[in-house]
Amino acid sequence: MFEGSMTALVTPFKKDGSIDEEGLRELVDFQIENGTDVILATGTTGECATLSVEEQIRAIGIVIDHVNGRRKVTAGAGANCTREAVALTRASKDLGADAVLSVCPYYNKPTQRGIYEHFKVVAGIDIPVILYNVPSRTSRAIQAETILRLTELPNVVGVKEASGDLAQIMKILEGSPADFSVLSGDDSFTYSIMCLGGKGVVSVAANVMPKEVSEMVHLSLEGEYEKARELHFRLLPLFRNLFIETNPIPVKEALRMMGKPSGVFRLPLCDMDDGHRAILADTLRGLGLI
């Protein structure tokens, strides 16, 4: 089972826009040293939308190589073209990823039947598949009924739920097998989802505060909900303000303020608005990060 604190790692870039490979390795070490259970390479927070397929495979390979078995690695391997998703999934398996995160096909606006058939093909590759439901980015939700149907496929092991719809999430928790991992895809919802039976989070905030996010998640897994609640509310301003602009703009800016590898953005993402930057800086100061 995939559970615990899973960091959706940023992809640091050099000034020329190329991947900062040494910076990426440094960020991996920061995560491992601070209790992260699983590292996600080239997810949305890793700017996968502007990475070429070759760059995506390279970044996944770097993370797997540097982790070197110390933690599990999940590879962002989704696409709106089923053939491309299959190719990325196979490449991730060949590189040694422990699982892939596969997003609902975007832009095409498939029906629920099309979504099911897409994931059925992806799940035909012998590697654990975590579904990724994020309708705010894909324009299509994977409905709870479709997710529950997909749990019957042998390699579908979990879902990253970023729908913001607790009714949908409860329906999945109620109807899914005991060994199926329902993971929060939104830091602000993690505590609530875990109180309902979720198994962890795929976190943006853990890029900045991996130790604290991991502690909150593990307290929840151990049933220490009051202590986890205290941490949730301590971290809530960070959870909110890391989405004051489009992710991953704020989290990369936060890492930059903390002196950690981050680098430039790839257009159409761009630097943060000055007013928003000041709000984020105040949040980081309040948490003792800068």
**Which residues are annotated as catalytic?**
132, 160
Instruction: Please report how the helices 225-241 and 210-221 are oriented relative to each other, as an axis angle in degrees rounded to 10.
Output: 140
Residues spanned by the domain of 192:
4-222
Domain presence at residue 232: no
Half-sphere exposure of 266 (CA within 13 A, CB side): 17
- Band of residue 1 on the pLDDT scale cut at 50, 70, 90: confident
Domain presence at residue 228: no
Alpha-carbon gap, residue 267 to 60, rounded angstroms: 21
Please report, for the domain that includes residue 33, its CATH number: 3.20.20.70
Domain presence at residue 84: yes
Supply the DSSP string of 70-121, one letter for each residue: SSEEEEE---SSHHHHHHHHHHHHHHT-SEEEEEPPPSS---HHHHHHHHHH
Domain presence at residue 249: no
Domain presence at residue 107: yes
- Band of residue 270 on the pLDDT scale cut at 50, 70, 90: very high
**Above 80 in pLDDT, residue 279?**
yes
pLDDT tens digit sequence for 161-179: 999 999 999 999 999 999 9
CA R_g for the chain: 18
Alpha-carbon gap, residue 154 to 119, rounded angstroms: 12
Burial of 165 (0-12, 13-18, 19+ CB in 10 A): middle
Contact 123, 156 (CB under 8 A): yes
Does residue 135 have a cis bond before it (omega within 30 degrees)?
A: no
CB atoms within 10 A of CB 91: 19
Domain presence at residue 120: yes
pLDDT tens digit sequence for 127-164: 999 999 999 999 999 999 999 999 999 999 999 999 99
- Band of residue 56 on the pLDDT scale cut at 50, 70, 90: very high
Q: How many domains does the chain have?
A: 1
Half-sphere exposure of 62 (CA within 13 A, CB side): 22
What's the whole-model pTM score? 0.96
Alpha-carbon gap, residue 203 to 211, rounded angstroms: 12
**Above 90 in pLDDT, residue 34?**
yes
